[in-house]
Homo-oligomer: A and B are copies of this chain.
Amino acid sequence: MEKVLSKQAETAWILLLRSQQVLMSQVEAMLKEAGLPPLSWYDVLLELDREPDSGLRQFEIGERVLLNKHNLSRLIDRLEKRGLVKRQACDTDGRGSIVHITKQGIQMKSEMWPVYESAIQKLIAELLTPTQIRSLTEIMNTLLKGHTKT
């Protein structure tokens, strides 16, 4: 039995938490400053834009964006209310709807991307070396894979 918890791991965890808070709020602030909606909207629009023809069921969006259905249901409401997205009755499954991105949605997505991109540029790309970026990618992949177990 090894030491209960290495101080190292705890420190890393705390820093991870803090940086996530800071980075997220920075990105959201940049989007807001540009008069654009929050990041979660972009996530959904991006996924929908990848399937412009077939669209996506809500639960499919939920899987890709890591949102549970409660929130997603209302998030789609908001998107639909602004005309960025539209729901269509699903032929093969009477319960659900298929969500499609609209022209305005595509437009919004393309407006958000430059802001988002420059945020990533400024907050990540400019600060880290290529090696660190690779390392970060690897570490995050490891952490993500770990969670599925249990």
Q: Which residues of A contact B (CB under 8 A)?
A: 4-6, 8-13, 15-24, 26, 66, 117, 120-121, 123-128, 130, 132-144, 146-147
Contacts and interface: CB of A to CB of B under 8 A. Distances in A.
23 contacts: A6-B125, A8-B133, A9-B124, A9-B125, A9-B128, A10-B117, A15-B137, A16-B20, A16-B23, A17-B24, A18-B66, A19-B140, A20-B20, A123-B147, A124-B143, A127-B142, A127-B143, A128-B139, A128-B143, A132-B135, A135-B135, A135-B139, A136-B139
B137 A12 contact: yes
Nearest to A126: B146
Contacts of A23: 16, 143, 147
B66 A117 contact: no
Contacts of A147: 22-23, 26, 123
Contact of A9 (B6, B66, B120): B120
B144 A15 contact: yes
A124 B133 CA distance: 19
Given A12-B124, A136-B139, 16 more contacts: A5-B125, A8-B137, A12-B133, A13-B124, A15-B141, A17-B24, A20-B20, A22-B66, A23-B143, A23-B147, A26-B147, A123-B146, A128-B139, A128-B142, A132-B139, A136-B136
